[in-house]
Amino acid sequence: MGVRIVGGGLAGSEAAWQAAASGARVTLYEMRPVRPTAVHKTDRLAELVCSNSFRGDKLDNAVGLLKEEMRRLGSLVMRAAEASRVPAGAALAVDRERFADIITRTLDDHPLVTIVREEIASIPASSGDEPVIVATGPLTSDALSADLASLVGQGHLYFYDAISPIVLAETIDMSKVFRQSRWGRSLRRGLVEVDLGRPVQGGASSAPTSEPAGPACGVDDGQGDYLNCPLTREEYERFYDGLVTAESATVHDFDKERFFEGCLPIEVMAHRGRDTLRFGPMKPVGLVDPRTGREPYAAVQLRQDNLAGDHFSLVGFQTQIKWADQARVLRLIPGLENAEFVRFGMVHRNTYVNGPTVLADTWQVRTRPSLFFAGQMSGVEGYVESAASGLLAGLNAAAMTRGEPVSTPPRTTAIGALSYYVSHANPAHYEPSNITFGIMQPLERAPKGKKLRNEALSARALADLDAWLVLRPIRQAQGRQEHERTRDNARPELVEGRAER
Ligand SMILES: Cc1cc2nc3c(=O)[nH]c(=O)nc-3n(C[C@H](O)[C@H](O)[C@H](O)COP(=O)(O)OP(=O)(O)OC[C@H]3O[C@@H](n4cnc5c(N)ncnc54)[C@H](O)[C@@H]3O)c2cc1C
């Protein structure tokens, strides 16, 4: 009996700690150093592959709130980060070696944790007594990726991240853009209906109404409610010249593979010909600029990116241009002259599942509740978010071994909002997300001003998390009693997980 975890990165290490700290035996499988990845450099657990920053650490930003919640939930990643902190202003940055050393040593020394250095090529068998957490990250090994694809369906597993830039709505010049769907097609057809109430086996929330998963890269499928930036011929030429002379970001070794044709960076398309973009993501067909009554020469479409409506992504604008140049070139688009970017475009190797299709908000696989996914491969983005998902998967997997109910903090918390986003976002346009206030449940009465609003969201989140923590032992005890009562009466084939592979 115990929890098996595949992948000793940020998510897997946090999951191992949480499960062991709540008394479960843990076996943690990590393939390094036996099989290296293209970006990890050491054999340590929780190695930070790029930046040494865990981003903002104040409660007026969402990742600062997420970190505070993780501290309250006893996070090992947060504890190791504090102990290896380096000066970085309002951000939490760490000495990466010390950080990974602390995590590795802590788990190595833990009497309930066994670390096995081995590549796991297929998803291990799981059951209610022995749940499995897969947390193999963006660079999941090829063999395991193939097995994952057969479990979740080829169309729900992505291998590249094609991230378009996201712009802050209040910085778009609305006098230059117009709201319209291509061909005037109906709005909202593709949106998910969310049902918060119905539990599924294992205590998870119900599945959203499934829409077929769309392509990894956004294209206008006529389903959205778009803001359109129209370009004249002169504006298009100016943008094109800026784009083809912009500096591209360094390409990692693993990125040297060919891009999927449907996910080409805009600069790669632009180099194919002066008009290629006008027949691709900048095509104007089906759009009529109300100010001229005509189809523009070219157009850039912006799609609402969060529930709050304050973030818009540039449709089909995945790019590897360096961030400073990216801002300069994108500001050549009419309406975006003063745009502030919440996130820049990127293309990199990234194995992740279509969260809303595959996962419940407890990080359980909907079709197999004794199997959990966590970390970047579960469809979140970022070190902190990966660790946060591992934290909940670890707590829930351990609860399952004791016959207790699985649960997730409310959507008003950052960690609950992240769980909700991954399991309930629109699957047709699913993209991994960092935590932002935009994916949290809005306040009923929000104070004026962004800083005050964010602080109020944080205050509510921490109060709600504390209340959830107080009630958790009571729910656990009730779950244990219920489990004891029903266990002897249950037909063996209906006991959770028994029939699973
Ligand atoms: C190049 C790159 C740069 C990034 N830079 C940043 C950044 O600067 N800031 C940020 O916040 N986020 C960044 N990310 C995104 C993401 O937050 C990190 O990748 C983060 O490490 C994800 O945590 P994880 O636990 O999901 O995966 P990882 O930390 O990658 O851990 C997964 C572990 O699973 C192991 N593994 C894989 N397959 C198997 C297998 N079959 N059997 C056993 N073990 C296996 C791997 O060796 C690895 O140790 C970056 C991602 C990439 C790809």
Output the residue whose Cα is nearest ligand 1's atom 16.
Answer: 382
Single-letter residue type at 382: G
Q: Mean pLDDT throughout 480-485?
A: 71
- In this predicted model, which residue has the larger pLDDT, 465 or 153? 465
For ligand 1, whether the C-beta of 432 sits within 6 Å is: no
- Cβ neighbours, 10 Å, residue 142: 12
Residue 348 CB less than 6 A away from ligand 1? yes
Which of 161, 376, 392 to mutate for ligand 1's pocket (most ligand atoms within 8 Å of CB)? 376
Q: What proportion of the chain, given as a percentage, has pLDDT over 70?
A: 84
Q: In angstroms, what is the span from residue 79 Cα to ligand 1's centroid?
A: 19
pLDDT at 490 over 70: no
Give pLDDT, residue 59: 94
Q: Which atom of ligand 1 is found nearest the CA of 37?
A: 47
Q: What is the pLDDT of residue 497?
A: 32
Phi, psi of 408 (to 5 degrees): -140, 140
Edge to edge, the sheet with strand 53-56 lists: 53-56, 91-94, 85-86
Q: What is the pLDDT of residues 443-452, one digit of tens each?
A: 999 898 889 9
Q: How remote is the CA of residue 400 from the centroid of ligand 1, in Å?
A: 26
Backbone φ and ψ for 361, nearest 5 degrees, come out as -75, 0
Our answer on whether the CB atom of 385 is closer than 6 Å to any ligand 1 atom is: no
Atom of ligand 1 nearest to the CA of 348: 53
Distance CA 229, CA 272 (A): 23
User: pLDDT tens-digit profile of 27-82?
Assistant: 999 999 999 987 888 999 999 987 788 988 999 999 999 999 999 999 999 999 99
Q: What's the pLDDT tens digit per position in 300-313?
A: 999 887 667 788 88
> φ, ψ for residue 226 (rounded to 5)?
-105, 150
Q: In 3D, which of 409, 215, 227 has the Cα closest to residue 305? A: 227
Output DSSP code: residue 122.
S
Q: pTM value?
A: 0.71
Kindly report, residue by residue over 380-429, the tens digit of the pLDDT: 989 999 999 999 999 999 999 999 999 999 999 999 999 999 999 988 87
Could you tell me the distance, in angstroms and rounded to a whole number, from the CA of residue 321 to the centre of ligand 1? 22
- Whether residue 487 has pLDDT greater than 80: no
Please give the average per-residue pLDDT across 313-330, as a whole number. 91
- pLDDT for res 178: 94
The whole-number average pLDDT for the span 465-476 is 87
